[in-house]
Amino acid sequence: MKFLIDEMFPPHVARDLRELGHDAVHVTEVGLAATSDPVVAAFARTEHRAIVTENVVDYAAERDVALVFVLKKNLPPGRPHGAALVSVLDDWARTDPAPYLGPHWPG
């Protein structure tokens, strides 16, 4: 699974996922900081990456890209958001390594 972590999540999420063996990049690492959502989605399509975002409304119409919607308020309690997100994404990617295009709600 290839992840593209959107900017509302900290950049270390991508690094931590890479340390666990996942192919993950943060939007800031690929020059997409403060870029419009359609441009981010186009990059994800080209790279065959699943976008990890909280922006349900902004990406809801996208159908030809895998979208991983994670709301911070739904992350497991007791850890900083970044660490909890890494855990959720790692578990999800191991159980669903080839997600279909469209929305996903792991966790």
pLDDT the model gives residue 104 = 81
Question: Quick one: what percent of the chain has pLDDT higher than 70?
Answer: 96
Per residue in 45-75, pLDDT (tens digit) is: 999 999 999 988 888 788 788 888 888 777 7
- Coarse DSSP helix, strand, coil percentages of the chain, rounded to the nearest 5 percent: 40, 20, 40
Task: Give the ranges where 2-73 is alpha helix by DSSP (H).
Answer: 12-19, 37-47, 56-59
pLDDT the model gives residue 35 = 92
Contact 88, 70 (CB under 8 A): yes
pLDDT the model gives residue 45 = 93
Task: Say yes or no: domain 2-104 is CATH 3.40.50.
Answer: yes
What does the block give as tokens for 23?
A: 């192919």
pLDDT the model gives residue 78 = 67
Higher pLDDT, 81 or 41: 41
Higher pLDDT, 104 or 85: 85
Segments of the chain assigned E as strands:
2-5, 23-26, 50-53, 66-69, 102-104
Count Cβ atoms below 10 Å from residue 92 Cβ, excluding itself: 20
**What's this model's pTM, rounded to 2 decimal places?**
0.89
Count Cβ atoms below 10 Å from residue 97 Cβ, excluding itself: 9
